[in-house]
Amino acid sequence: MNYIYLHGFASRPASRKATYFQHRFAAAGHQLQIPALDGGDFQNLTVSGQLAIVDACVAGQPSVLLGSSLGGYLAALYAARHPEVQRAVLLAPAFCFPRRWQDDLGAEAFEAWRREGSREVFHYGEGRTLRIGFGLIDDAQQYEDYPVVSQPVLLLHGIQDAVVPVHYAREFARRHPDSAQLLELDTDHEMGDVLDALWTAASKFLFP
């Protein structure tokens, strides 16, 4: 079984959550792949490009996907299209990805990004500001807000999440009554204070 962790937007394979899960998987006797989803070119990041990297990791083999934020949305998109994915664990998944950008930035800033072709964002993995192209949004608009996933899905979401509010996970769970289970935790988007709780829930789901 392939176990693959998909990090969030403007993050990296060595993020705190990714590293934590990699260590816990190793202690349980499993290798966890953590690809760099920007492929070394953050400015030209797209959803399609990230899905291609996931596809190369899965390589047609039975796989389990874990994803954080944008990585959670990617995991859902990929699982909806690939039956070789057996299960998915989504941590604060960023459903409705392109629409939320417009809502968060506001119409004026969003149109300026479209017009100028790129804008500056803070890259948490690099600890500095980098530019991101509007191609991210142009490409993302072809994908559905809530992928239809038939495989078992565990959603873990913080009720204090101000980046991706928990109602997005609730809506996904409502749309998938037979395949999705949602566990809400008293934490924010980073989830750094509930890592052990995340592992406990994920390990019970993945290794019953």
| CA 181/CA 190 separation, integer angstroms | 20
| CA 2/CA 93 separation, integer angstroms | 21
Write a three-state SS string for 78-121. Answer: HHHHCCCEEEEEEECCCCCHHHHHHHHHCHHHHHHHHHHCEEEE
Q: Is the pLDDT of residue 208 over 90?
A: no
Quote the mean pLDDT of the chain: 97
Domains, the chain, in order of start with CATH, read 2-95+147-203 (3.40.50.1820)
Q: Is the pLDDT of residue 175 over 90?
A: yes
pLDDT tens-digit profile of 12-44? 999 999 999 999 999 999 999 999 999 999 999
Please say whether the dihedral angle defined by the alpha carbons of residues 204, 82, 57 and 95, taken in this order, is positive or negative.
Answer: negative
Model confidence, pTM: 0.98
* pLDDT of 171: 98
